[in-house]
Chains A and B, each alone.
Chain A
Amino acid sequence: MPDIHDEDSYEPHPKPGVSHLDYAGEQGMAVEQETLVERDPVKREEARSLWGDAWRDLRGRPIFLISAVLILLLVVMAIFPWAFTDTDPRKADLVNDYLRRPNWGDVFGGGWFGYDAQGRSIYARVIYGARASITVGIFVTAAVTVLGGLTGMVAGYFGGAVDAVVSRITDIFFGIPLLLGALVLLNAFATRTVWSVVIALGVLGWTQIARVMRGAVLTVKQADFVVAGRALGAGTGRLMFRHILPNAIAPVIVVATIALGGYIATEATLSFLGIGLQDPTISWGIDISSAQKVIRTAPYVLFFPAAALSVTVLAFIMLGDAVRDALDPKLR
């Protein structure tokens, strides 16, 4: 996914008159809010944290609710696929002719979405395909967030020569297009599993997060509470992770959520090109690729995995959009 977000447009929103402790953790916040409600309702408004604010805002957004429900459903599908279908997605029976149209009466049955060219149930394969996509999406995002977050934090916090070196390394990795790099890396694996795809995308994909994190840290570093923390004798680790991180993480979360959908699409593209996942792993990308041969006569063989893939990517992008709107009041 290309970098659509200008890193500078994300600024943390420290509210004047609120100490950094109030942002630091939601849990501490909740307790404080409770007591304040009883004493003085007006004060409660002032002390609401960025996260509390964002959560309040998100709950009221239909787009957030729709995407959250979709993602929840997909995650359940990924963990318990057998709860949605009794049909074995790998059972190929040529009695099931792919030219026979989908049987709409066969709700949740093997023939609901029809059969593919090898006589396997498309419905079952769509359900079981969720696991590969969701696993790749979540683990790649976790990997790039940790890798990119740490790199960006180090570059932004230390500045100077460290920043120059780390930023150039980031530039080097940024210069290689994700899809091309992943194709070359994955070609080296003789057998490729979900984990090889996660490694390839994680190694190449962290640069965007690193840049966003660096930008956010540069802004937060200047804040008074960081200076105060340092003056009170807080060490580097404490300043970085207790003071700066909670205030610089918001734009990273937004970019990571939107990127998650992009990684799912990239995995599908790699599998489609034949250099991503391999049989026996069930992946929508592989299914779309094998549906190519019968696209003229049986377009639904391609339609269902493609629709599942698109809806999944859509859900994560909508979630990211909603989170960005909630965390960045400037855009409202």
Chain B
Amino acid sequence: MGSYVLRRVLQMIPVFFGTTLLIFVMVYSLPGDPVTALFGDKAADPAVVASIKHTYYLDQPIWKQYLHYMGNLFQGDFGTSFTGRPVSDIMADAFPVTIRLALMAFVFEMVLGLALGVLSGLKRGSIADTLVLILTLVVISIPVFVLAYIAQTVFATNLGWVTPTVQDSYDLTQLVLPATVLGSLSLAYVARLTRTSIGENLRADYIRTAVAKGLPRRTIISRHLLRNSLIPVVTFLGTDLGALMGGAIVTEGIFNVQGIGNVLYRAINQKEGPTVVGIVTVLVIVYLVASLLVDLLYAVLDPRIRYA
């Protein structure tokens, strides 16, 4: 187990550097000069541009910029945005909001998705099963931003239960609607995955054995069926936490949640390189740690999987 974790962590290192380098190159070496863009329509004074570029290390070749950035990163310095505010400051404001939003969406999709999946998987061909299938298909095919507008129109404009946009991003009750919209797509996937997985396992020999032993239905479902059916679902959920935070770009924009999605969108549009790289770097770390945890969870769920 220990050596497996070590090997996985070692594998993560090149992926971490590769992904951050990729995003770094995408942000800094593609056409479009962020410094001249700062001046808007006015003609920029070449001396001022050169001095700003020097301050932000932009006059160096890209690999030097990257090494410089990484060197600072390992000292906990995410750099400074072009507005002069430290990127870590910007992230400290925005990340708590998005983490809450993503966690709420995550709990929502996990609880409801599993429940719907188990329900339809156990009763294949029933009305409930057909309903779940149709409902999930509809949710999957409606793009998130359309779903957000539908939710806004129904719950805010027509029913008046909530305000159309979030007034206070730190108020959890206001985040319920955005979180539901954010988690709905993954909810549909979780439900469908669980359904398929349960359907496959229902026919397995160990279930027949459990039934033959006379175990109560509840025990068979929770101990035997569910535990074995969860592996593909856990894989999906693990990679989804990172995806939720990245996917928050659309939801946060429509509901005016002041999280990283909003900050990131603005930063990309204004070519705010340091902010974009900083946020994406954190997202990559979240993704890497989550996929490591998923691999470790496999061994808990299925004792046959051992990491020597």
Residues on A close to B: CB < 8 A?
Answer: 2-4, 6, 9, 168-169, 171-173, 175-177, 179-181, 183-185, 187-188, 190, 261, 265, 268-269, 272-275, 288, 292, 295-296, 299, 302, 306, 309-311, 313-314, 317-318, 330-331
**Do A309 and B246 touch (CB < 8 A)?**
no
A6 contacts which of B32, B141, B235, B280 (Cβ < 8 Å)?
B235
Contacts of B288 in A (CB 8 A): 175
Asked whether A184 lies within 8 Å of B268 as measured between CB atoms, the reply is yes
Please tell me which one of the listed residues A4, A181, A313 contacts residue B26 in the complex, with CB atoms under 8 A apart: A181
Contacts A168-B18, A172-B18; A273 near B23 (Cβ below 8 A): no
Q: Chain A interface mostly helix, strand, loop or mixed?
A: helix
Given that A184-B23, A331-B200 are contacting pairs, would A269 and B143 also be in contact in the complex, using a CB cutoff of 8 Å?
yes
Measured between C-beta atoms, what is the minimum distance from B140 to chain A in Å? Answer: 6
Name the one of A168, A179, A184, A306 contacting B146, with C-beta atoms under 8 angstroms: A306
Interface stretch (choices B54-62, B64-72, B185-193): B185-193
Which residues of B does A touch, CB under 8 Å? 11, 14-15, 18-19, 22-23, 26-27, 30-32, 137-138, 140-146, 149, 153, 157, 186, 189, 192-193, 196, 199-200, 231-232, 235-236, 239-240, 242-243, 246-247, 249-250, 253, 264-265, 268-269, 271, 276, 280, 283-284, 287-288
Shortest beta-carbon distance from A10 to chain B in Å: 12
CB contact between A184 and one of B26, B144, B186, B235 (< 8 Å): that residue: B26
For B232, what are the chain A residues with a Cβ–Cβ distance below 8 Å? 6, 9
**A273 and B15 contact, CB distance less than 8 A:** no
A117 to chain B, nearest CB (A): 16
Query: Which of B14, B142, B239, B249 contacts A168, CB < 8 Å?
Result: B14
Closest Cβ of chain B: how far from A13's Cβ, in Å? Answer: 15
Q: Which residues of B contact A187 (CB under 8 A)?
A: 30, 32, 268-269, 271
Contact indicator B19/A175 (Cβ below 8 Å): yes
Cβ B268 vs Cβ A275 within 8 A: yes
The answer to whether B141 and A190 touch across the interface, beta carbons within 8 angstroms, is no
Cα distance A309–B149 in the bound complex, in angstroms: 14
In the bound complex, do residue A310 and residue B141 qualify as a contact, i.e. CB atoms below 8 Å apart? yes
Q: Residue on B with the closest CB to A164?
A: B11
Cβ-neighbour of B23 out of A176, A309, A310 (below 8 A): A176
**Assuming the A-B contacts A171-B15, A179-B247, A317-B141, are A3 and B239 also in contact, with contact meaning beta carbons closer than 8 angstroms in the complex?**
yes
Provide the residues of chain A in CB contact with B193, threshold 8 Å: 4
Given contacts A168-B18, A171-B15, A184-B268, contact A177 B246 (CB under 8 A): yes
> B236 to chain A: which residues have CB within 8 Å?
2-4
